[in-house]
Chains A and B, each alone.
Chain A
Amino acid sequence: MRALLQLTLLGLKLNFRNRMAILYGYLFPLIFLVAFWAVYRSDPVPLALHLGQFLTITVLGSACFGLPTTIVSERERGVWRRYRLLPARGWVFLTSVLLARAVLLVTAALLQLALAFAFGMPMPAHPIGLAIAFTAASFAFLAFGLVIAMLVDNVPAVQALGQCIFLPMLMIGGVAVQLESLPAWAQHLSLFAPGRYAVEALQLSATGTGLSRAGFDFAALLSTGAAGAIAAGAMFRWDKAFAPRRAWLLLAIGMWVAVGLWAETRGLASISAVKDTREVGSARDYAPTSPSTKAVPASWQGVTQADIDGIDFKRLPPDEGIISPLSRGDEMPDPIIQPALDRIRDGLAGWSPGNVSDPVQRARNLLAIAAVPDILQMEQVERFVPRLVFARLQAVIPPRDLPKILYWIAMHPNEGGDRAIHQLGAFGLPDITGPTKPVRGRVMLYAFKLLGRLAGPLPNN
């Protein structure tokens, strides 16, 4: 035990004497964090909704590069051959490397969290759950890092193989690029790599309901980690002169595949609905029969049921998609975004653009509150804000007039003023710059969606 402790402390000391190790171990995670902060700067809750992502990147980087580079470079230079002359079993040396790596990983993650707090990120909803999820993710990835270390002979090969795992998992594995933004095939593919399970488990502890809903994520992380640890143990070699028993790689990779198939066949890991990323289009795309069958009404008061019946609501983007997303009526937001939603709901009554005398402009202004978060892709928030807006519209516009006004706004998206778009600070929503046409497009879609619910064709669940 004394030897293990001393060796672990030595490993830490040596790491801190290596400038490149410091760079990779501490600076890169902070750079990723700043990148997330910059990309998602419009989030109402800074970084909290991406905590799972940036912590997973830190663990993944350490497993794909830091850990195997340490082991392989020492083995290349005969350090492990020298260790083997000592009266201790191999697990002592491997454990010391893993312990040192775990300390480096935890300190890097704490540094990331400290900076994230400085950027305004709130405390995670379930700190203990977060620590447990982080441990499970570290176990899964570091075990695979050991597999890489046993498999390759030199440091350049670590970099090459590490990149082959690191980059795909970031881009299409649900780690750096969110699953909702990925095509369906990539979402399915992501089930076969542990990255998305790590993100989900961490995020549920950070902003979700805690680990109670992360059972499958934990099962996936622990099983892939155990398979990796067993495979790495079987492939262990002191000296690069000896070839690793590569057949054991099948166990590590096989477990990734097994977990993916398990998720696919049991439906335990939910796949978001197919995303609709097409252009918003024009009003004519959604009301194709209206112009040809009858005269266009001259004002909103002239809108008839026949006009509304001419709308093909099935053409609207799906509620689960990226464009004009909308939560289900019975869906609960993550607790951490509830204060942001409360602020919007509480501010609606006193928001002057929402109380202007012209009912069309009033409705248009209110719809902009839903449209702006959608444009800025404020995940989760953007899906719940429309519900608040719909409730407000129904409260401040007579039921008889509301369908007509919504029809009018939807069919004339470029009419009326749009200054309200720049007056959303009262709700904690950011100002947006540039042309307002995209926002008007989303106003149109939300007008259609609420109209569809009022008129009946769309389910009001």
Chain B
Amino acid sequence: MTKALTVAGLSRRHGAVQAVDGIGFEIAAGEIFGLLGPNGAGKTTAIECVLGLVRPDAGSITVCGIDALARPQDARAKTGAVLQATGLPDKITPREALDVFGAFYPAPLKTDVLLERFGLREKQGAAYDTLSGGQKQRLALALAFVGDPQLLVLDEPASGLDVQMRRELHDDIRRIKAAGRAVLLATHDMDEAAQLCDRVAVMVGGRVLATGAPAALIAGSGGSLEDVLLKLTGGAR
């Protein structure tokens, strides 16, 4: 069976810093895979490589059987993403954003369906700069879904969300999984990872130090995923 994402031997240096150092992992359809690690572990760089925002120095990336380094546009057509540090024009409305972004995909989801699904119906005509932080994050998620992606890449998607919104986000991610889509989730929220992920990879210093189901990792070290992370990073509780 074709994997939704296969990463092998991925390396990327930023100046003197080896941000990602030969990592590899696979994500199957219907699987939620977490990238865990402290700030500076290399999670975001790894995700930027997967999405083609940064070209890796070495390694390979395959999205749904497509060589993402050789055919980045085709790979992006199969991928949806929510990243940190992205934005939209101040005066764009959610409806306009969904309409325009959808025009880039061969079979986009209907704008009305997405507005309904992400609770943006009432704000469909509001300017982006008038939306709350949660509404902006929901719009970012809706835009990630607009191309009906096989692989969803989420970099700290819950940051800035309140408890209610966070819960709704988690429900969305579970629905994606139920629909047979793969999810790559980068987070430093251990509870979130434990609740959502089928498997996680713990990154420290650009390298993957442990991979497995959260329960298996916890069983190996006792306590929680946070303990696993602290143990791997050499931190004290």
Binding site for B on A (CB under 8 A): 2-3, 6-7, 10, 13-14, 17-18, 74, 77-79, 81-82, 84-89, 238-239
Of all A-B residue pairs in the complex, the 4 with the closest CB atoms, nearest first, are A82-B86, A87-B77, A78-B87, A87-B76
Find out whether the CB atom of B100 lies under 8 angstroms from the CB atom of A7.
Answer: yes
How far, in whole Å, are A86 and B73 apart by their CA atoms in the complex? 8
* Of B101-109, B185-193, B221-229, the one touching chain A: B101-109
Contacts of A14 in B (CB 8 A): 89, 91-92
Residue of B nearest to A79 (CB): B87
Find out whether the CB atom of B73 lies under 8 angstroms from the CB atom of A87.
Answer: yes
Find out whether the CB atom of B103 lies under 8 angstroms from the CB atom of A87.
Answer: no
Contacts of A82 in B (CB 8 A): 83, 86-88, 143
Find out whether the CB atom of A87 lies under 8 angstroms from the CB atom of B105.
Answer: yes
Residue of A nearest to B147 (CB): A87
Find out whether the CB atom of A3 lies under 8 angstroms from the CB atom of B83.
Answer: no
Contacts of B85 in A (CB 8 A): 78, 81
Judged by a CB distance under 8 angstroms, whether B173 is at the interface is: no
Q: What are the interface flags for B63-76 relative to A under an 8 Å C-beta threshold, 1 for contact and 0 otherwise?
A: 00000000001101
Judged by a CB distance under 8 angstroms, whether B96 is at the interface is: yes
Judged by a CB distance under 8 angstroms, whether B53 is at the interface is: yes
Contacts of A6 in B (CB 8 A): 99-100, 103
Find out whether the CB atom of B74 lies under 8 angstroms from the CB atom of A87.
Answer: yes
In the complex where A82-B83, A238-B53 touch, is A88 in contact with B73 (Cβ < 8 A)? yes
How far, in whole Å, are A18 and B128 apart by their CA atoms in the complex? 13
In the complex where A17-B91, A18-B91 touch, is A81 in contact with B74 (Cβ < 8 A)? no
Judged by a CB distance under 8 angstroms, whether B182 is at the interface is: no
Contacts of B101 in A (CB 8 A): 86
Can you list 24 A-B contacts with CB-CB less than 8 angstroms, sorted by A residue number? A6-B99, A6-B100, A7-B103, A10-B96, A10-B100, A13-B96, A14-B89, A17-B91, A74-B89, A77-B89, A77-B90, A81-B53, A81-B87, A82-B143, A84-B52, A84-B53, A85-B51, A85-B53, A85-B76, A85-B79, A86-B76, A87-B147, A238-B53, A239-B53
Judged by a CB distance under 8 angstroms, whether B29 is at the interface is: no
Of the candidates B73, B81, B104, the one having the most CB atoms from chain A within 10 angstroms of its own CB is: B104
Contacts of A7 in B (CB 8 A): 100, 103
Q: How far is the CB of A369 from chain B (nearest CB, A)?
A: 58
Find out whether the CB atom of A78 lies under 8 angstroms from the CB atom of B86.
Answer: yes
Contacts of A89 in B (CB 8 A): 73
Q: How far is the CB of B107 from chain A (nearest CB, A)?
A: 12
How far, in whole Å, are A6 and B147 apart by their CA atoms in the complex? 16
Find out whether the CB atom of B103 lies under 8 angstroms from the CB atom of A2.
Answer: yes
Find out whether the CB atom of A77 lies under 8 angstroms from the CB atom of B87.
Answer: yes
Contacts of B96 in A (CB 8 A): 10, 13
How far, in whole Å, are A3 and B104 apart by their CA atoms in the complex? 5
Q: How far is the CB of B41 from chain A (nearest CB, A)?
A: 19
Residue of B nearest to A75 (CB): B87
Find out whether the CB atom of A3 lies under 8 angstroms from the CB atom of B92.
Answer: no
Contacts of A84 in B (CB 8 A): 52-53
Residue of A nearest to B84 (CB): A78
How far, in whole Å, are A3 and B90 apart by their CA atoms in the complex? 20
Contacts of B83 in A (CB 8 A): 81-82, 85
Find out whether the CB atom of B86 lies under 8 angstroms from the CB atom of A81.
Answer: yes
Contacts of B147 in A (CB 8 A): 87
In the complex where A85-B51, A85-B83, A87-B77 touch, is A79 in contact with B103 (Cβ < 8 A)? no
Q: What are the interface flags for B118-134 relative to A under an 8 Å C-beta threshold, 1 for contact and 0 otherwise?
A: 00000000010000000
Contacts of B99 in A (CB 8 A): 6
Q: How far is the CB of A233 from chain B (nearest CB, A)?
A: 17
- Further contacts, 10 of them, CB under 8 A, given A13-B96, A87-B147: A10-B92, A17-B127, A74-B89, A78-B85, A81-B87, A82-B83, A82-B87, A85-B53, A85-B86, A86-B101
How far, in whole Å, are A7 and B105 apart by their CA atoms in the complex? 13
Q: How far is the CB of B155 from chain A (nearest CB, A)?
A: 11
Find out whether the CB atom of A86 lies under 8 angstroms from the CB atom of B91.
Answer: no
Find out whether the CB atom of B73 lies under 8 angstroms from the CB atom of A3.
Answer: no
Find out whether the CB atom of B89 lies under 8 angstroms from the CB atom of A87.
Answer: no
Q: How far is the CB of B108 from chain A (nearest CB, A)?
A: 10
Find out whether the CB atom of B104 lies under 8 angstroms from the CB atom of A88.
Answer: yes
Q: How far is the CB of A11 from chain B (nearest CB, A)?
A: 9
Residue of B nearest to A11 (CB): B89
Contacts of A18 in B (CB 8 A): 91
Contacts of A74 in B (CB 8 A): 89
Residue of B nearest to A70 (CB): B89
Residue of A nearest to B80 (CB): A85
Q: How far is the CB of A178 from chain B (nearest CB, A)?
A: 40
Contacts of A86 in B (CB 8 A): 76, 101, 104
Q: How far is the CB of A329 from chain B (nearest CB, A)?
A: 61
How far, in whole Å, are A3 and B77 apart by their CA atoms in the complex? 13
How far, in whole Å, are A78 and B84 apart by their CA atoms in the complex? 9
Q: How far is the CB of B206 from chain A (nearest CB, A)?
A: 18
Choose from A2, A79, A88 the contact partner of B89 (Cβ within 8 Å). A79
Contacts of A88 in B (CB 8 A): 73, 104
How far, in whole Å, are A77 and B85 apart by their CA atoms in the complex? 8
Of the candidates A7, A10, A238, A239, the one having the most CB atoms from chain B within 10 angstroms of its own CB is: A10
Q: What are the interface flags for B143-173 relative to A under an 8 Å C-beta threshold, 1 for contact and 0 otherwise?
A: 1000100000000000000000000000000
Q: How far is the CB of B188 from chain A (nearest CB, A)?
A: 21
Residue of A nearest to B52 (CB): A84
Q: How far is the CB of A116 from chain B (nearest CB, A)?
A: 31
In the complex where A14-B91, A14-B92 touch, is A3 in contact with B86 (Cβ < 8 A)? no
Residue of B nearest to A82 (CB): B86
How far, in whole Å, are A78 and B88 apart by their CA atoms in the complex? 7
Q: How far is the CB of A193 from chain B (nearest CB, A)?
A: 33
How far, in whole Å, are A7 and B99 apart by their CA atoms in the complex? 10
Q: How far is the CB of A52 from chain B (nearest CB, A)?
A: 34
Q: How far is the CB of A97 from chain B (nearest CB, A)?
A: 12
How far, in whole Å, are A82 and B53 apart by their CA atoms in the complex? 10
How far, in whole Å, are A89 and B96 apart by their CA atoms in the complex? 21
Q: How far is the CB of B77 from chain A (nearest CB, A)?
A: 4
Residue of B nearest to A2 (CB): B103
Contacts of A10 in B (CB 8 A): 92, 96, 100
How far, in whole Å, are A239 and B83 apart by their CA atoms in the complex? 13
Within 8 A of A (CB), among B160-210: none
